[in-house]
Amino acid sequence: MIDRESPVPIYYQIEEYIKQLIETEALNPGDAIPSEREFTEQFKVSRMTVRQAITNLVNEGYLFRQKGKGTYVSKQKIEQTLQGLTGFTEDMKKRGMKPDSKILDFKLIPADLKVAKQLYINEHDPIYEIKRIRLADDLPMALEMSYLPANLIKGLTEEIVNSSLYEYIEDNLQLKIDYATQEIESSLSHEDEAKLLDIPKNVPILLIQRQTFLDNGQPFELVKSKYRGDRYKFVIDMKRR
Ligand code: 16G
Protein backbone atom coordinates (compact mmCIF):
# COMPACT_ATOMS: atom_id res chain seq x y z
CA MET A 1 0.00 0.00 0.00
CA ILE A 2 3.02 2.28 -0.20
CA ASP A 3 2.98 4.08 -3.54
CA ARG A 4 6.56 4.71 -4.55
CA GLU A 5 5.51 6.64 -7.66
CA SER A 6 3.47 9.09 -5.65
CA PRO A 7 4.80 12.60 -4.99
CA VAL A 8 3.61 12.10 -1.41
CA PRO A 9 6.67 11.28 0.74
CA ILE A 10 6.81 7.70 1.97
CA TYR A 11 7.07 8.65 5.64
CA TYR A 12 3.85 10.63 5.19
CA GLN A 13 2.10 7.63 3.61
CA ILE A 14 3.12 5.54 6.62
CA GLU A 15 1.79 8.23 8.94
CA GLU A 16 -1.54 8.19 7.14
CA TYR A 17 -1.63 4.39 7.34
CA ILE A 18 -1.07 4.41 11.11
CA LYS A 19 -3.63 7.20 11.59
CA GLN A 20 -6.14 5.11 9.68
CA LEU A 21 -5.49 2.13 11.99
CA ILE A 22 -6.34 4.45 14.90
CA GLU A 23 -9.40 5.96 13.23
CA THR A 24 -10.85 2.57 12.30
CA GLU A 25 -10.08 1.33 15.83
CA ALA A 26 -7.82 -1.42 14.58
CA LEU A 27 -5.49 0.23 17.10
CA ASN A 28 -6.98 1.63 20.32
CA PRO A 29 -5.64 3.97 23.01
CA GLY A 30 -3.06 2.12 25.08
CA ASP A 31 -2.27 -0.44 22.34
CA ALA A 32 1.37 -0.92 21.36
CA ILE A 33 2.03 -0.28 17.69
CA PRO A 34 4.22 -2.71 15.69
CA SER A 35 7.97 -2.18 16.15
CA GLU A 36 10.11 -0.13 13.74
CA ARG A 37 11.59 -3.40 12.49
CA GLU A 38 8.16 -4.86 11.74
CA PHE A 39 7.12 -1.75 9.82
CA THR A 40 10.45 -1.76 7.96
CA GLU A 41 9.79 -5.30 6.78
CA GLN A 42 6.10 -4.72 6.05
CA PHE A 43 6.72 -1.64 3.87
CA LYS A 44 10.19 -2.50 2.56
CA VAL A 45 11.46 0.92 3.50
CA SER A 46 14.42 2.13 5.54
CA ARG A 47 14.27 2.24 9.30
CA MET A 48 14.86 5.99 9.14
CA THR A 49 11.70 6.50 7.10
CA VAL A 50 9.64 4.52 9.61
CA ARG A 51 11.23 6.41 12.49
CA GLN A 52 10.38 9.75 10.90
CA ALA A 53 6.72 8.75 10.48
CA ILE A 54 6.49 7.59 14.09
CA THR A 55 8.29 10.67 15.44
CA ASN A 56 5.87 12.93 13.58
CA LEU A 57 2.89 11.07 15.05
CA VAL A 58 4.43 11.31 18.52
CA ASN A 59 4.87 15.06 18.05
CA GLU A 60 1.29 15.41 16.86
CA GLY A 61 0.04 13.53 19.91
CA TYR A 62 -1.31 10.40 18.19
CA LEU A 63 1.35 8.16 19.74
CA PHE A 64 3.58 8.25 22.80
CA ARG A 65 6.86 6.48 23.49
CA GLN A 66 7.79 4.68 26.65
CA LYS A 67 11.51 4.31 27.20
CA GLY A 68 12.75 0.76 26.79
CA LYS A 69 9.23 -0.53 26.07
CA GLY A 70 7.74 0.69 22.84
CA THR A 71 5.36 3.11 21.21
CA TYR A 72 1.70 3.27 22.13
CA VAL A 73 -1.52 4.86 20.88
CA SER A 74 -2.50 7.98 22.88
CA LYS A 75 -5.95 8.88 24.09
CA GLN A 76 -8.10 10.67 21.54
CA LYS A 77 -7.80 14.43 21.65
CA ILE A 78 -10.54 16.49 23.21
CA GLU A 79 -12.44 18.23 20.43
CA GLN A 80 -13.35 21.74 21.42
CA THR A 81 -15.73 23.64 19.21
CA LEU A 82 -14.98 27.28 18.55
CA GLN A 83 -18.67 28.08 18.20
CA GLY A 84 -20.33 29.36 21.33
CA LEU A 85 -18.71 30.89 24.38
CA THR A 86 -18.19 28.40 27.17
CA GLY A 87 -16.01 27.93 30.23
CA PHE A 88 -13.74 25.07 31.14
CA THR A 89 -15.89 23.62 33.94
CA GLU A 90 -19.08 23.53 31.88
CA ASP A 91 -17.21 22.05 28.88
CA MET A 92 -15.80 19.21 30.93
CA LYS A 93 -19.11 18.52 32.69
CA LYS A 94 -20.87 18.33 29.32
CA ARG A 95 -18.41 15.65 28.24
CA GLY A 96 -18.91 13.68 31.43
CA MET A 97 -15.36 14.46 32.53
CA LYS A 98 -14.37 15.68 35.99
CA PRO A 99 -13.10 19.30 35.92
CA ASP A 100 -10.59 20.44 38.49
CA SER A 101 -8.15 23.29 39.09
CA LYS A 102 -4.90 23.72 40.89
CA ILE A 103 -4.29 27.32 41.88
CA LEU A 104 -0.70 28.42 41.39
CA ASP A 105 -1.25 32.08 42.08
CA PHE A 106 -4.09 34.27 43.34
CA LYS A 107 -3.26 37.94 43.84
CA LEU A 108 -4.87 41.34 44.01
CA ILE A 109 -2.53 43.76 42.22
CA PRO A 110 -2.65 47.20 40.55
CA ALA A 111 -3.22 46.97 36.80
CA ASP A 112 -0.37 47.98 34.52
CA LEU A 113 -1.21 50.28 31.63
CA LYS A 114 -1.49 47.54 29.00
CA VAL A 115 -3.90 45.37 30.98
CA ALA A 116 -5.85 48.42 32.19
CA LYS A 117 -6.45 49.52 28.59
CA GLN A 118 -7.74 46.11 27.57
CA LEU A 119 -10.05 45.95 30.58
CA TYR A 120 -11.28 49.54 30.05
CA ILE A 121 -10.10 50.57 33.54
CA ASN A 122 -7.49 53.03 34.83
CA GLU A 123 -3.86 52.18 35.36
CA HIS A 124 -3.32 51.03 38.98
CA ASP A 125 -6.98 50.04 39.47
CA PRO A 126 -7.09 46.74 41.38
CA ILE A 127 -7.20 43.51 39.36
CA TYR A 128 -7.10 39.87 40.29
CA GLU A 129 -4.23 37.91 38.78
CA ILE A 130 -5.02 34.22 38.83
CA LYS A 131 -2.88 31.37 37.57
CA ARG A 132 -4.50 27.93 37.42
CA ILE A 133 -3.76 24.51 36.06
CA ARG A 134 -6.97 23.14 34.55
CA LEU A 135 -7.43 19.40 34.87
CA ALA A 136 -9.86 16.97 33.27
CA ASP A 137 -10.24 13.56 34.90
CA ASP A 138 -7.14 14.43 36.95
CA LEU A 139 -4.96 15.06 33.86
CA PRO A 140 -3.52 18.56 33.38
CA MET A 141 -4.91 20.05 30.16
CA ALA A 142 -4.09 23.75 30.28
CA LEU A 143 -2.36 26.51 32.17
CA GLU A 144 -4.45 29.63 32.52
CA MET A 145 -3.46 33.13 33.55
CA SER A 146 -6.48 35.42 34.08
CA TYR A 147 -6.80 39.12 34.84
CA LEU A 148 -10.12 40.39 36.17
CA PRO A 149 -11.07 43.92 37.30
CA ALA A 150 -11.71 43.66 41.05
CA ASN A 151 -14.27 46.48 41.09
CA LEU A 152 -16.43 44.58 38.61
CA ILE A 153 -15.85 40.94 39.55
CA LYS A 154 -16.28 41.46 43.27
CA GLY A 155 -15.54 39.09 46.12
CA LEU A 156 -13.43 36.50 44.31
CA THR A 157 -11.76 33.92 46.54
CA GLU A 158 -9.40 31.05 45.93
CA GLU A 159 -12.24 28.69 46.72
CA ILE A 160 -14.36 30.17 43.92
CA VAL A 161 -11.67 29.98 41.26
CA ASN A 162 -10.86 26.48 42.41
CA SER A 163 -14.18 25.54 40.83
CA SER A 164 -15.85 27.78 38.24
CA LEU A 165 -15.31 31.44 37.58
CA TYR A 166 -18.10 31.64 35.00
CA GLU A 167 -20.59 30.00 37.36
CA TYR A 168 -19.74 32.55 40.05
CA ILE A 169 -20.07 35.49 37.64
CA GLU A 170 -23.43 34.35 36.31
CA ASP A 171 -25.07 32.68 39.31
CA ASN A 172 -23.72 34.74 42.21
CA LEU A 173 -22.92 38.13 40.71
CA GLN A 174 -25.85 37.83 38.27
CA LEU A 175 -23.80 39.35 35.46
CA LYS A 176 -24.39 38.32 31.86
CA ILE A 177 -21.39 36.97 29.97
CA ASP A 178 -21.96 37.83 26.36
CA TYR A 179 -19.10 37.51 23.86
CA ALA A 180 -15.35 37.14 23.48
CA THR A 181 -12.58 37.67 21.01
CA GLN A 182 -10.04 34.91 20.92
CA GLU A 183 -6.68 34.37 19.27
CA ILE A 184 -5.05 30.97 18.81
CA GLU A 185 -1.38 30.53 18.00
CA SER A 186 1.06 27.67 18.11
CA SER A 187 3.87 27.69 20.61
CA LEU A 188 6.37 25.38 22.29
CA SER A 189 6.35 24.26 25.91
CA HIS A 190 8.96 25.95 28.09
CA GLU A 191 10.58 23.91 30.81
CA ASP A 192 8.44 25.18 33.70
CA GLU A 193 5.20 24.81 31.71
CA ALA A 194 6.18 21.33 30.60
CA LYS A 195 6.54 20.26 34.22
CA LEU A 196 3.17 21.70 35.20
CA LEU A 197 1.39 20.16 32.21
CA ASP A 198 3.22 16.86 32.53
CA ILE A 199 4.54 16.98 28.96
CA PRO A 200 8.08 17.10 27.53
CA LYS A 201 9.65 20.50 27.03
CA ASN A 202 9.75 22.04 23.55
CA VAL A 203 6.70 20.17 22.25
CA PRO A 204 3.85 21.96 20.44
CA ILE A 205 1.21 23.66 22.58
CA LEU A 206 -1.65 26.01 21.73
CA LEU A 207 -1.50 29.53 23.02
CA ILE A 208 -4.97 31.05 23.36
CA GLN A 209 -5.77 34.61 24.37
CA ARG A 210 -9.29 35.63 25.18
CA GLN A 211 -10.87 38.97 26.04
CA THR A 212 -14.39 38.39 27.30
CA PHE A 213 -17.21 40.93 27.61
CA LEU A 214 -20.44 41.34 29.55
CA ASP A 215 -23.67 42.21 27.75
CA ASN A 216 -23.10 45.92 28.50
CA GLY A 217 -19.90 45.80 26.46
CA GLN A 218 -17.58 45.91 29.47
CA PRO A 219 -14.61 43.48 29.31
CA PHE A 220 -14.38 41.40 32.49
CA GLU A 221 -11.45 39.09 31.81
CA LEU A 222 -8.21 38.78 29.91
CA VAL A 223 -7.03 35.21 29.76
CA LYS A 224 -3.88 33.69 28.40
CA SER A 225 -4.11 29.91 28.20
CA LYS A 226 -1.63 27.28 27.16
CA TYR A 227 -3.31 24.08 26.05
CA ARG A 228 -1.59 20.74 25.54
CA GLY A 229 -1.23 20.18 21.80
CA ASP A 230 -1.35 16.43 22.27
CA ARG A 231 -4.73 16.44 24.03
CA TYR A 232 -6.66 19.25 22.35
CA LYS A 233 -7.98 20.08 18.96
CA PHE A 234 -10.17 23.01 18.05
CA VAL A 235 -12.97 22.49 15.58
CA ILE A 236 -15.18 24.92 13.70
CA ASP A 237 -17.92 24.42 11.12
CA MET A 238 -17.73 26.75 8.17
CA LYS A 239 -20.27 27.68 5.58
CA ARG A 240 -19.52 29.19 2.22
CA ARG A 241 -21.30 32.54 2.00
C1 16G B 1 -12.02 28.69 29.67
C2 16G B 1 -11.71 30.01 29.01
C3 16G B 1 -11.32 31.06 30.00
C4 16G B 1 -12.33 31.15 31.13
C5 16G B 1 -12.55 29.80 31.76
C6 16G B 1 -13.65 29.82 32.79
C7 16G B 1 -10.68 29.20 26.90
C8 16G B 1 -9.55 29.27 25.99
N9 16G B 1 -10.63 29.91 28.02
O10 16G B 1 -10.88 28.06 30.14
O11 16G B 1 -11.28 32.31 29.34
O12 16G B 1 -11.89 32.04 32.12
O13 16G B 1 -12.93 28.87 30.75
O14 16G B 1 -13.73 28.53 33.32
O15 16G B 1 -11.63 28.52 26.63
P16 16G B 1 -14.34 28.19 34.71
O17 16G B 1 -15.76 28.66 34.70
O18 16G B 1 -14.20 26.72 34.84
O19 16G B 1 -13.53 28.91 35.76
- Rounded alpha-carbon distances, angstroms, from residue 94 to 67, 88, 134, 168, 225: 35, 10, 16, 18, 20
User: Ligand 1 pocket, 164 CB below 6 A?
Assistant: yes
Enter the ipTM.
0.98
pLDDT at 109 over 90: yes
Residue 161 has pLDDT above 90, yes or no: yes
Higher pLDDT, 108 or 95: 108
Chain segment 177-202, per-residue pLDDT in tens = 999 999 999 999 999 999 999 998 99
Q: Is the pLDDT of residue 209 over 90?
A: yes
Ligand 1: residue of 80, 81, 88, 236 to mutate (most ligand atoms within 8 A of CB) is 88
142 has a pLDDT exceeding 90: yes
Cβ of 166 below 6 Å from ligand 1: yes
pLDDT over 90 at 76, yes or no: no
Which has the minimum average pLDDT: 38-47, 71-80, 121-130?
71-80
Mean per-residue pLDDT over the chain, rounded? 95
169 Cβ inside 6 Å of ligand 1: no
Residue 121 predicted with pLDDT over 90: yes
pLDDT in tens, 55-69: 999 988 899 999 889
pLDDT of residue 61: 83
Atom of ligand 1 at shortest range from CA of 89: 18
pLDDT for 1 beyond 90: no
- Convert the pLDDT of each residue in 21-48 to its tens digit: 999 999 999 999 999 999 999 999 999 9
Question: What is the pLDDT confidence band of residue 130, given thresholds at 50, 70 and 90?
Answer: very high
> What was the pLDDT predicted at 95?
87
